[in-house]
Structure 1
Amino acid sequence: MSDCCKKPEPEPTPEVAQSSCSATKVETSCCPSEKNQRDYLLWVSGSIVLICYLLGFWFDDSDTLPRWLAVMSSGIFELMNKMWWGLAAAVVFVGLLERIPRELIMATLGRGGTFKGIARATFAGLLLDLCSHGILMVGTKLYQKGASLGQLMAFLVASPWNSLSLTIIMFTLIGLKWTLLYIGLSLLIGLISGVIFDRLVAKGVLNANPATPDDNSHEQPPAVWPELKKLFAAARFTPQTIGALLWDGLKDSRMVFRWLFFGLVLATAIRAFVPVDTYSTLFGPTLMGLLLTLVAATIIEVCSEGSTPIAADLVLRAGAPGNGFTFLMAGIATDYTEIMILKELTKSWKIALFLPLVTLPQVLVLGWILNQMPL
């Protein structure tokens, strides 16, 4: 089973899902993945969320509880009431996506070194419901199968929090306007970054992917749409298969829940222990607030699921939509796990360090522009 916290294998054997609705799933779970290993982060964070939710339901009078506990409980109660349907929809989407063979998604990438190939790689990332660490395993496989460096970077930058589940959760937290803006701008950064990396390769500044097919290759791409039609035609929709889909979606959403619950605890703890005035001053819609957000995103090592509630809090509580966007995107660009795996994959520190060098200036400029917009 793939473990996104370890160095990727040189060439993992691809696993193809069957074409039935009850098909065998492709494992995409983030660390820890061993069946016998207890997921302490999930259990501890989930228990805190459950206890605080019940306290928020039973004790709506803040005088009954210590102030910090009352703030955390009311915050988790409020956020969970907004997010519950998004979490339920995420379970369904994860179950559905697990039944689509990953190879069909990879086949949509097209040829590297072209804008069309970069655009297809960027949008392909939207189909995968993975965290910023989980997406690395798919990205490494894409690179090993011949994706260009630009396609790899576009895929990594635009994908992690743009998954269907997190998109729905972001919509429930900050609304349709900011969610669509965040998605559009992150895709823009992915496209621009992909083009820049492929140009740097063309000029010899960075090394090309040795597995990329030659321009003279006349290999016919797989017929994606006919395969998708066969997949859906073979699907069986019965109470048993639908139940299996929901159960698999719930199990495979463990990675989402783990980091999302942790992010909820962290975000509400910030609410409890950092006064609103101080929070707005430190992380408000100013240049200093933007830079402090960048520092925080660099230091705090959480998956995209954990970043989502914190980013929403920056929008709603600090009144800084640009800081929320910066926290999500800078966390991806400065993630040391991602940088180390890129170094191992490409055998180049230069390529790995060019990720933040290329993406961070774009993130900061767009974050500053978003901070000038009215909520």
Structure 2
Amino acid sequence: MADQQISTDTPASCCGAKATPAVTPSCCAPPAAADAPVWKRYDLMLWGSGVIIVLSYCLAFVLPHDAPLGLGVFTHAVREMMNLMWWGILIGMVAVGLIDRVPRQFVIGIIGRDQAFSSLVRAVLGGVLLDLCNHGVLMVGAKLYERGASLGQVFAFLIASPWNSLSLTIIIGVLMGWGWMFVFLVASLVIALITGMIVEALERAGRVKPNPNRIDLPADFNVVAEAKAGLRATTFDAAFVRDVAQRSVSASKMVLRWLFFGVVLAALIQTTIPTEVFATWFGATLLGLLTTLIAATIIEVCSEGSVPIAADLMTRAAAPGNAFTFLMAGAATDYTEILVLREVTGRLKAALLLPLLTVPQVVVIGWALNSV
């Protein structure tokens, strides 16, 4: 069966996974040595951002909106965002805990090894279901390539993954509206499929080298049978609830650290950049779209942190296309992804295909959304 054929050495949570030699995922807190000082053993971004949010939320009840030094604007912005997001965060944490129980090899089995269109669809769905950030998902993509997935499947998986996890999709719906969430979701899946199809076509034409690690799944591997067996082996009792609760907290730390940081960053943007200036430079114009693309390329913020900023682009700049561009281009142009793909495939040209193929699609769709 697949359990004997596919390695399970990578745990479900990206921050606990074994990184490739070239990179430690920047979405996760840096590991601390056993003899490190106490303060170094804590995730300063998670706890620092969390403390700022708690203090700001409380101060927003006593500070007027026009309090000096921008404290009123900052604290009220934090409170408004958290009032909208809290239940989405809670549901997302539970979803993360449940997904964390799904064996990674099961996802690999779903994606498959053939290069048919159905395999690209499975790769996209696998990317959506895994609740990982654009850095953490790189380790899964690298593992898929090592296990024989084609470059087109890996690209489709990576493009679908960054913010299309269940928890972030819910938060996007809360912050930007469920209609726009659906539009963004469909648009990103279309980009993932088109990019995968182009890479597969280039490989068939001999312009892209095939994956030397390609192998076939065991003939007796059956995803439905594996799923049924896993459900039969699961006892839904108090121990199951405790396990999901523990996983919800531990596996969500990677998401929460960047999400909280993104809330603080978005509040700072609202405090320091007047709405009229923000709307001019990042508005629903060609200049605003290009400025957003440049900002997304330069700013090294994990996908979770980009969601509150994208929501600000949607609300204050009235630019849904810019919000979509910021979410998608930040992952497509991320230098970490390019370096990891270069390391895994051994080819810089293959790694550069990711931004070359995806960024034009993102810009076109962003322009179309701004024109609606």
Is 2:232 the partner of 1:230?
Answer: no
Aligned residues of 2:146 and 2:213 also touching (Cα < 8 A): yes
Is 2:31 the partner of 1:28?
Answer: no
Residues 324-363 of structure 1: pairs in structure 2 closer than 5 A: 324-363=323-362
Is 2:81 the partner of 1:79?
Answer: yes
Q: How far has the Cα of 1:290 moved from its partner?
A: 0.1
Structure 1 Cα separation of the partners of residues 221 and 86 of structure 2:
39
Q: Output the TM-score relative to the length of structure 2.
A: 0.90
Q: Output the TM-score relative to the length of structure 1.
A: 0.89
Structure 1 Cα separation of the partners of residues 349 and 150 of structure 2:
16
Shift in alpha-carbon separation, 1:232–1:219, aligned structure 2, 3 A: closer
Aligned residues: 349
Number of the residue aligned with 1:62: 65
Q: How far has the Cα of 1:219 moved from its partner?
A: 4.2
Is 2:261 the partner of 1:259?
Answer: no
Tell me the alpha carbon deviations over residues 270-325 of structure 1, each in whole angstroms, 9 at most, x when there is no partner.
10000000000000000000000000000000110000000111001100000000
Gaps of 5+ in 2: 1-5, 16-26, 35-40
Q: How far has the Cα of 1:57 moved from its partner?
A: 2.8
Structure 2 Cα separation of the partners of residues 54 and 230 of structure 1:
48
- Greater shift in the superposed pair: 203-212 or 275-284: 203-212
Tell me the alpha carbon deviations over residues 142-169 of structure 1, each in whole angstroms, 9 at most, x when there is no partner.
1111100100000001111000110111
Aligned residues of 2:7 and 2:105 also touching (Cα < 8 A): no
Amino acid at match of 1:52: S
Number of the residue aligned with 1:152: 154
Q: How far has the Cα of 1:221 moved from its partner?
A: 5.6
Q: How far has the Cα of 1:33 moved from its partner?
A: 5.7
Number of the residue aligned with 1:51: 55
How big is the alpha-carbon RMSD for the aligned residues of Structure 1 and Structure 2?
A: 1.7
Gaps of 5+ in 1: 1-11, 17-24
Number of the residue aligned with 2:8: 14
Structure 2 Cα separation of the partners of residues 269 and 218 of structure 1:
50
Aligned residues of 1:112 and 1:151 also touching (Cα < 8 A): no
Structure 2 Cα separation of the partners of residues 337 and 57 of structure 1:
41
Q: How far has the Cα of 1:13 moved from its partner?
A: 4.8
Aligned residues of 1:146 and 1:211 also touching (Cα < 8 A): yes
Amino acid at match of 1:207: K
Structure 2 Cα separation of the partners of residues 236 and 15 of structure 1:
24
Number of the residue aligned with 1:309: 308
Aligned residues of 1:110 and 1:116 also touching (Cα < 8 A): no
Amino acid at match of 1:113: Q
Is 2:41 the partner of 1:41?
Answer: no
Structure 1 Cα separation of the partners of residues 314 and 13 of structure 2:
34
* Runs of 4+, deviation exceeding 4 Å: none
